[in-house]
Structure 1
Amino acid sequence: MRIRQIETFLVPPRWLFVKVSTDEGVSGWGEATLEGRSATVQAAVQELADLLVGRDPLRIEDHWQVMTRSGFYRGGPVLASAVAGLDQALWDIAGRTYGAPVHQLLGGPVRDRVRVYSWIGGDEPAEVADRAAAQRAAGFTAVKLNASGRMGLLDTSAAIDHTLGLAAAAREAMGPDGDFALDFHGRFTTPMARRVVAELEPLRPLFVEEPVLPEYAGDRLRDVVGATTIPIATGERLYSRTEFLPVLRAGIAVAQPDVSHAGGISECRRIAALAETFDVLLAPHCPIGPIALAACLQVDFATPNVLIQEQSLGIHYNTTSDLLDYLVDPTVFTFDQGWCARPTGPGLGIEIDEAAVRRAAETGHAWRGPVWRHPDGSFAEW
């Protein structure tokens, strides 16, 4: 069997799908979405295709090594995301070839179901309370929300109180037997993050995510970890084992690699194993599409230190298409009381509606994140 063709599809709302076809009729799908830069990744996938076409698709690790190391300039989000989409597709082909889900090829399942959480929006405590209560009523036992909008470098007492109000509303709605996580989204400076996390402790969030920017992953993240008993999570903007090592040494509690950003299933499995040696849990980052979620679940079911899985059903980004729209059978992502059952289908365990993908790709997308500014006109982190 040889790889015959590699195709990419930019589809709404902001996703990039990859299809790898072989000369024996077996095909695999991956997701190389890099929010705001997917068209750039699309070009990178086509460059990497030259290394794969005509090759045996089952030599996954060899292909991963060549794709990541054969170029003199290595790493970074664009290349790592391109590799991720192709790596997922190759694992999908392997599973379909052997008639087994990918997690079976990774050593077999270590659990029968995995806990999932939902995103909720809301800029005011009342909105957060309503949306968290709705998710609780739908059976979810955990939600995540943004901790703030635009945050000043050292913002006011009112800004701190607003974050505390959002968190308090989520805690009340979820109850003592439910969980909420707060995403700081890198919007907080280190001193601001240190001030806020200490005051959040009585509300007992499941974790605080990305309290500082990834550029400060070493010493400054360590300062935040040391300022609180709240578990600190990070990793969506880290793309390899070597980039995760400093944050693991800084004392994080939860690693959040993105299977579409951090080199795919192959590298995320290695990141998980590295995290395990630090007694750190895994909560894969996944606010994007269905192929990414399917790939995450394959990692989840073969990885012992998984805490919980993010998923994007109904997330505020999905305004034109949602998580289930490109699937032949959406029931594979049925969430029962906040849990997702182990997928048993071959490969990634999903069937892509290729006709729907090709129609959507005719429109494509040009999704970009907003550009925020502080009151003085200077750039603000989104």
Structure 2
Amino acid sequence: MEELEITKVELFKVPPRWLFVKITTKGGLFGWGEPVVEGKADSVAACVKELEQYLIGRTANNIEDIWQVLYRGGFYRGGTILMSAISGIDQALWDIKGKHLGVPVFELLGGAVRQRMKMYCWIGGDDPKVVIEQAREKMNQGYRAVKMNATGPMRWVSSIKDIKKVADNMRLLREEFGYELDVGLDFHGRVHKPMVKRLIDELAPYDPMFIEEPVLSENNDALKHIYSYTSIPIATGERMLSRWDFKDVLQQGVVDIIQPDLSHAGGISEVKRIATMAEAYDVALAPHCPLGPISLASALHIDFSCANATIQESSLGIHYNKGFDLLDYVKNPEIFDVKDGFMDLFTQPGLGVEIDEEILKEGQKIGHNWANPIWRNDDGTFAEW
């Protein structure tokens, strides 16, 4: 396996807010990964460089042992930066292994359980004036499901007037599209526990596909009160980083859909384990993915190989993607075509996404300094974004 010895690790920070890693072996095979935290790309890049000492000279085939060393070998474990760095490295190693063996990654995860994957994309939701236009645009692109923010900035206890505004977008979508369009609502951790039930009361008549992150993950203990209050499926997990983070919510039975992110939750190796844990609790999987093409491809290989995967997020056209969008760095964008709401099973070896390095290097010259917006309430207090 000398030809699979890792010889080089390269990083590319590119707009709109992404970080790619390319891992190359002595035999010339290479794999791509997407190790990034939105707003913390430089921190993750530094972490990847620190982890490089555990990669150079290793055989790229030994994915599981490398994962264990990267996770456990530094004594201090977990955290968003480390787990995101591991995630991108892990994706690249699976890409190499699939290319080496000449098969798509999902074949190495047990094979396909489906021939196509249901997709959804983002339509914003902060402004009722544009949701109809955006939803129609997405339907014309082939989508039959979308997600939007439920709210803008929220105080710990908001006024009744603000609460009543929340349902307007859902009402407009139902009046325009009926039930031909599935709509997920993202509370985005913006809503504090005192307001969640009131918001659910306003939204329930319009039958959301799910409610995402009704509270921040550090307040997951509140889910037991929320879960028993509504029949709307509860989804969470984009800020949860490993099987150990998901263990409690699964054991407590307070979630219907888990949403680990392939660029934050330990990559393909760990998300496959998380998905299997969730299946044992009869919980569905819908990987979070507001990022780039490598992260999306990685998520789809998980979806193709997991029976409990139900729907997949795509960042195509998301409002963060200014200047460069999901397909701009991809030589074979057709693999991400959506037809009648679904994306077809991949057929190419590895992750199946071919990165255009010339365009990537042009993007690297531009770079980015993307950061989360800082919101404040009308009294000047910090508001969760």
TM-score, normalization: structure 2? Answer: 0.97
Answer yes or no: is the 8 Å Cα contact 1:136–1:174 preserved in 2.
no
**Equivalent position SS for 1:55:** coil
CA positional deviation for 1:125: 2.5
**Equivalent position SS for 1:292:** helix
Name the stretch that deviates more: 309-318 or 161-170: 161-170
1:14-29 map, 5 Å: 14-29=17-32
**Equivalent position SS for 1:46:** helix
Name the stretch that deviates more: 244-253 or 230-239: 244-253
CA positional deviation for 1:173: 3.3
CA positional deviation for 1:134: 2.5
CA positional deviation for 1:250: 4.2
- RMSD across aligned positions (CA): 1.1
Which of these residues, 169, 173, 176, is aligned with residue 173 of structure 1? 176
Report the counterpart of residue 296 of structure 2 in structure 1. 293
Q: Aligned residues: percent identity?
A: 51
Report the counterpart of residue 234 of structure 1 in structure 2. 236
Answer yes or no: is the 8 Å Cα contact 2:151–2:187 preserved in 1.
yes
CA positional deviation for 1:95: 0.2
Which of these residues, 351, 359, 362, is aligned with residue 359 of structure 1? 362
CA distance in 2, matches of 1:47, 1:8: 13
CA distance in 1, matches of 2:34, 2:137: 30
Give the counterpart letter for 2:343 in structure 1.
Answer: C
Give the counterpart letter for 1:290 in structure 2.
Answer: P
Give the counterpart letter for 1:316 in structure 2.
Answer: H
**Equivalent position SS for 2:303:** helix
Report the counterpart of residue 255 of structure 1 in structure 2. 258
1:186-220 per-position Cα deviation (integer Å, ceiling 9, x unaligned): 00001201211133212111000001011111x21
Report the counterpart of residue 151 of structure 1 in structure 2. 154
1:277-296 per-position Cα deviation (integer Å, ceiling 9, x unaligned): 11110000001100000101
Report the counterpart of residue 226 of structure 2 in structure 1. 224
Report the counterpart of residue 245 of structure 2 in structure 1. 243
CA distance in 1, matches of 2:348, 2:211: 34
Gaps of 5+ in 2: none
1:1-382 map, 5 Å: 1-217=4-220, 219-248=221-250, 249-382=252-385
CA distance in 2, matches of 1:142, 1:171: 13
Runs (4 or more) in structure 1 with deviation over 6 Å come to none
Name the stretch that deviates more: 62-71 or 130-139: 130-139
CA distance in 2, matches of 1:273, 1:38: 29
**Equivalent position SS for 1:97:** helix
Name the stretch that deviates more: 178-187 or 197-206: 197-206
Q: How many residues align?
A: 381
CA distance in 2, matches of 1:310, 1:71: 32
Give the counterpart letter for 1:69 in structure 2.
Answer: R
**Equivalent position SS for 1:115:** strand
Give the counterpart letter for 1:263 in structure 2.
Answer: G
**Equivalent position SS for 2:167:** helix
Give the counterpart letter for 1:348 in structure 2.
Answer: L
Give the counterpart letter for 2:181 in structure 1.
Answer: G
CA positional deviation for 1:122: 4.0
CA distance in 1, matches of 2:68, 2:243: 14
Gaps of 5+ in 1: none
